[in-house]
Amino acid sequence: MSRVLLEVNELTTNYITRFRENVYAVDHVSLKVEEGRSLGIAGESGCGKSTLALSLMGYYFAPLHYSGGEIIVDGQNITGMAPDDVRKTILGNEISYIPQAAMNALNPTQKVIHFIEDVIQAHHPETTKKEIYELASERFELLGLSPKVLQKYSVELSGGMKQRTVIATSVILSPKVLIADEPSSALDVTSQKMVIKMVMDLMEKGIIKALIFITHELPLLYHVTDDIMVMYAGQIVEKGTVDEVIFDPIHPYSKALMGSIIVPEAGLRDVKLTAIPGTPPNLKKPPSGCRFADRCKFVMPECRAVSVNLRDIGEGRAYRCIIPEEDLRKAYKNEG
């Protein structure tokens, strides 16, 4: 078994709203990412996947708060560390991040190179500007970006260019793990492809050692990652490899998610199109039983009575439902 770069056990984080209510957007989430592998996290918007992305870095500020669990980065438990040490040694250095809204991710009144200087010097204060410039232009060129971009303000860059600049900046320190939060969702199709190719290149070129890719388009992950986790209402509802989750989903939600795609990716054309009726539960007051119960086709009275644990069925495969997997599979087959 290869080295585990990121291990998360029972991580729980919560938002505190203006009215002092707690919203547990990440609820007892556990995951493991090994060297050389990539993990996809899928779910509808509002399911907590973006919050999970932020929570995984172990660095919290209002309104997001740490509530329980642990994060182990390359063997080092960072949950007990002082926030400033996390900032200095982990963020950008060990784990890095590509935000959802790359359009506004760069300070509009700062040249790209100056931001890179700030990033590098936050971790390695002794680095000179000259060294940083050399490093940055080398890295930009390696990723197919012109070093001229470094001298520009972000407002002078086009949308796709901004996103690629952000990606290159995020990995400037060659972090072990990269968390990409819907890096392509706001872009046009061409730029989307380019961005996804770039992220995959990062792995191939060995700039990053492991990837966590978050998206609401489950099929997108087919081309990008090795494993998939499906999230619903702050909890993981299914885990497995890409092939398992996409072609053989167990949880009714994963199944429905596969069906809710409007434009299926190549190779998935025989999947039927169905929308998932209903809305996710209010996380301020999550239901006591299964959180998917209200929208589930196979709902039974017991579903609302007892909370369901993630059922481990071996080899990293797991799902959260009280119905046995065989019965679920049978039901799917009957539906056609």
Partner 1 sequence: MKAYRNYYLKKIVWFVITLQCAFILNFILPRMMPGDPVAGIVARMAQGMSNATGVQAVYEQYTELFGTDKPMLEQFIIYVRNVFHGDFGYSISQYPRTVADVIKSSIWWTVALQFPAIIVGWILGNTLGALSAYLRKGFDNVLLPISIFFSNLPAFAMAIILLVIFGVSLKWAPTSGGYGFDMIPNNSWEFVWSVIVHYQLPFWAIVLITIGGQAIGMRSMAIYELNADYVKYARFLGVKDRKIIMYVFRNAMLPQITGLAQSIGTMVGGALFAEIIFSYPGLGSTILTAVRGGDYPLISATTLIITIMSLVAFFVLEILYGLIDPRIKAAQSE
Partner 2 sequence: MKHIIGQVFRSGKFLVGFVMFMAIVLTVVIYPLFIKDEPLDIVSRGTFLPPGIYVNVYDSIEFSPRYTLILDEAAARRIASKLSHEDRLAMQEWLVAMGVPPNKIDIEDTANLLELWENTFDPTARIPGMTNADRNYYIRLNSALDGLLATEGATVAAVNSETGVLEEKDVIDQTDYVNVGEVPNIRLLPLGTDNFGRDVLTELVKATGVSLTIGFVAGIIATSIGLVFGLLSGYLGGFVDDLIGFLNNLFTVIPPLMLAILIAFSIGQDQRGAYTVAVVIGVTSWPWTSRAVRAQVISLRNRDHVNLSKLSGHSIAYILLTDILPYIASYVVMALILQISQGILTEAGLSILGLGPRTTDVPTLGLMMSWAMIYQAPIMGIWWAYFPVIVVIAVISFSMNLMNTGLDRVFNPALRE
List phi, psi (to 5°) of 237: -105, -20
Joined tokens for residue 280:
């996710």
305 binds, among partner 1, partner 2, none (CB under 5 to 8 A by kind): none
225 binds, among partner 1, partner 2, none (CB under 5 to 8 A by kind): none
63 binds, among partner 1, partner 2, none (CB under 5 to 8 A by kind): partner 2
Whichever of 16 and 142 has its CB closer to partner 2, that residue is 16
Contact 29, 239 (CB under 8 A): no
122 binds, among partner 2, partner 1, none (CB under 5 to 8 A by kind): partner 1
Contact 216, 42 (CB under 8 A): yes
90 binds, among partner 2, partner 1, none (CB under 5 to 8 A by kind): partner 1
Whichever of 54 and 211 has its CB closer to partner 1, that residue is 54
Whichever of 9 and 100 has its CB closer to partner 1, that residue is 100
Beta strand segments in the chain, E: 4-16, 22-34, 38-42, 64-73, 76-77, 95-98, 177-181, 210-215, 227-232, 235-241, 311-312, 318-319
Task: Classify residue 52 as exposed, middle or buried by CB count within 10 Å of its CB (0-12, 13-18, 19+).
Answer: buried
The beta-carbon contacts of 310-315 under 8 Å, at least 24 apart in sequence, are 310/236, 310/239
Joined tokens for residue 208:
């990053």
Whichever of 122 and 313 has its CB closer to partner 1, that residue is 122
* Sign for the pseudo-dihedral over CA of 254, 260, 266, 267: positive
Closest distance of CB 148 from partner 1, Å = 15
Closest distance of CB 292 from partner 2, Å = 29
| Dist CA 120 CA 172 (whole Å) | 8
18 binds, among partner 1, partner 2, none (CB under 5 to 8 A by kind): partner 2
| Dist CA 275 CA 87 (whole Å) | 41
Whichever of 57 and 199 has its CB closer to partner 1, that residue is 57
300 binds, among partner 1, partner 2, none (CB under 5 to 8 A by kind): none
Closest distance of CB 88 from partner 1, Å = 7
Closest distance of CB 163 from partner 1, Å = 12
Joined tokens for residue 98:
């590509």
Which residues would be at the binding site for partner 1 (CB under 8 A)?
54, 57, 59, 61, 87-88, 90-93, 96-97, 99, 101, 103-110, 115, 118-119, 122-123, 153, 155-156, 166, 169-170
Whichever of 31 and 64 has its CB closer to partner 1, that residue is 64
Whichever of 19 and 301 has its CB closer to partner 2, that residue is 19
| Dist CA 234 CA 285 (whole Å) | 12
Closest distance of CB 207 from partner 1, Å = 15
336 binds, among partner 2, partner 1, none (CB under 5 to 8 A by kind): none
Joined tokens for residue 26:
């990440």
Closest distance of CB 297 from partner 2, Å = 31
Q: DSSP letter for 265, please.
A: P
Whichever of 16 and 306 has its CB closer to partner 2, that residue is 16
Contact 100, 181 (CB under 8 A): yes
| Dist CA 210 CA 203 (whole Å) | 7
Strands 4-16, 22-34: parallel, antiparallel or unpaired by DSSP? Answer: antiparallel
Angle between helices 159-170 and 112-123 (to 10 degrees): 20
Closest distance of CB 99 from partner 1, Å = 5
Which residues would be at the binding site for partner 2 (CB under 8 A)?
18, 62-63
Nearest residue to 119 (alpha-carbon basis) of 41, 73, 59, 171: 171
Closest distance of CB 166 from partner 2, Å = 23
